[in-house]
Amino acid sequence: MVITARSFMSDTYLRPTPSLANNRVHYKLKEQEGRCKSSRGWGKKMSSFDIKLVILSLNLLFITLSEAKAHVTIISNVEKGTLKIHCYSKDNDLGIHYLAYDQSFDINFVPNFWGNTKFYCDFTTQFGSGNYAVYDRLMESKRCGLKCVWYINENGPCLVLNPSLNLWCQPWRNASKRLQKTHKN
């Protein structure tokens, strides 16, 4: 390997070798007995096989992380009337859908490598409405993993928590007067 500067590794040295190009003296790095200096002392030189193995391992890790599919299911548990949903992320608008009682809507996607994928849904019923995050990093890591199931009830949306299968419910952000009257009685 031909270099034109001094090595910063203390136990390697440079020796001048004549070069015909531009009448300059270039320096060649001389390794001591085929070994490289590391922070822990003299170690073995990495072979091209070792380098290829490291690159292959990193590629497999990247593919595994980038191919993990997330699945969000929204199930209408509203017996009276229909549930109107509009789901979207920063990059995808999934449109408006209407669900009758016990119908579902599925969202399948691959979260991005950086872990900042977020999906939101606007839910509208005769009992109330609101905008809710149905998938984000917090839900993936602490609440539901890569399979999030939401039940939309007359009182608001509920997420099924994994692995306990308990419900994490939120009230409607905009409760209708009909729902407010039923709670007062």
12, 31 Cβ separation under 8 angstroms? yes
pTM: 0.62
Specify the pLDDT at position 170.
Answer: 96
Specify the pLDDT at position 77.
Answer: 96
> Token pair 């009682």 is at which residue?
101
The whole-angstrom separation of Cα 129 and Cα 9 is: 66
Domain residue ranges of the chain, discontinuous segments joined by +: 2-66, 70-184
What is the dotted CATH code of the domain comprising 70-184? 2.60.40
**Spans of the chain, pLDDT less than 50:** 1-15, 26-34, 36, 38, 185
